[in-house]
Amino acid sequence: MSATPLYIICSPRPQVGKTLLARLLTEFLLLKNGDVAAFDVNLKEPSLLDFLPKVTETADVIDTFGKMQLMDRVILDDGLAKVIDLGFHAFDEFFKMTEEIGLLKEAARRHVAPMILFMADTDRVSARAHEMLRDRIPRINLITVDNEFIIRGELPLAMAGGRLFRLPALPGFLKTYIDRLNFSFTGYLRQERDSSTELHQWIRRNYLAFRELELSLILQRS
């Protein structure tokens, strides 16, 4: 049997598309598996909880109790995929905690496969954070997300060498459309009969990319 996946979507910077990616991934897993557990570690609104309240719960890493409560839920080999939407305010504290408790070793012992999806940006804060993750996280567990809406051009060289996930940009008017709290990506696929629309193809492309990510996880664990 394959390991239980744990997706940690993160950035030390706000407004880089982190919650958008968390929404897409959570809806994909819900469609594919029928269930998913998502955790919202954010201060600002709107957040993942606002978009997907039925499968999302809030979490924090401010104190020891909050940290252990979150870890107890996500390092659990129950076959249920987990998604953490990690707010930029909690980035440093979260990865300090994972270092202290030996998250990767503990996850491997419990047959859980963490995947850290880092939202790339071109600023110094992102560069330092990405370097820190490269030093601590094995290459196979660290995936750099190239959000083309944020990165207008090539990725910084230091971020381009590992595993990549490309999130295509959408026109501004479609971005506004999908940012509505009642919008569902899977609902749109089911309701929109014209599969040639730009949004339909964008959602399908991302869902297929998530499927490839899952397959790579299965292959690396087999």
Alpha carbon distance 92, 96 (integer Å) = 6
- Domain ranges for the chain, please list them: 4-221
- Residue 182 or 152, more confident: 182
Which of 21-30, 42-51, 72-81, 197-206 is least confident?
42-51
Q: Name the strand (E) or helix (H) holding 82.
A: strand 82-86
Which DSSP letter does residue 139 get? G
Q: State the burial class of residue 64 (Cβ atoms within 10 Å of its Cβ: 0-12, 13-18, 19+).
A: exposed
Residue 81 Ramachandran class (φ > 0 left, ψ -120 to 50 alpha, else beta): beta
Residue with tokens 């305010």: 89
Burial 76-114 (b: 16+ CB within 10 A, else e): beeeebbbbbbbbbbbeebbebbeeeebbeebeeeebbb
The 10s digit of each residue's pLDDT in 47-105 is: 999 999 999 999 988 888 888 999 999 999 999 999 999 999 999 999 999 999 999 99
Superfamily, domain 4-221 = P-loop containing nucleotide triphosphate hydrolases (3.40.50.300)
The 10s digit of each residue's pLDDT in 122-173 is: 999 999 999 999 999 999 999 999 999 999 888 999 999 889 999 999 998 9
